[in-house]
Amino acid sequence: MRLFVCIDPGSDNRLKLEKYITLQRKHGALGSFTRAGNLHLTLAFIGETDRAQSAAAALDALDFAPFTLFSGEIGTFSGGGKDVVWLGVKKCPELEKLAADTAQALRRSGFAIEKRPFVPHLTLGRGVRNWNASLPPPEFSALANEVVLMESTRVNGVIKYIPLHILMARD
Is residue 27 annotated as a catalytic residue, yes or no? Answer: no
**8 CB neighbour count, 10 Å cutoff:** 20
Is residue 40 annotated as a catalytic residue, yes or no? Answer: yes
Give dist(CA 54, CA 77) in Å, integer: 31
149, with CB counted inside 10 A (0-12, 13-18, 19+), is buried
110, with CB counted inside 10 A (0-12, 13-18, 19+), is exposed
Choosing from 33, 121, 144, 147, the catalytic residue is 121
List the beta bridge partners of residue 68.
Answer: 143
Choosing from 14, 16, 40, 165, the catalytic residue is 40
**95 CB neighbour count, 10 Å cutoff:** 21
Give dist(CA 3, CA 48) in Å, integer: 6
Residues identified as active-site? 40, 121
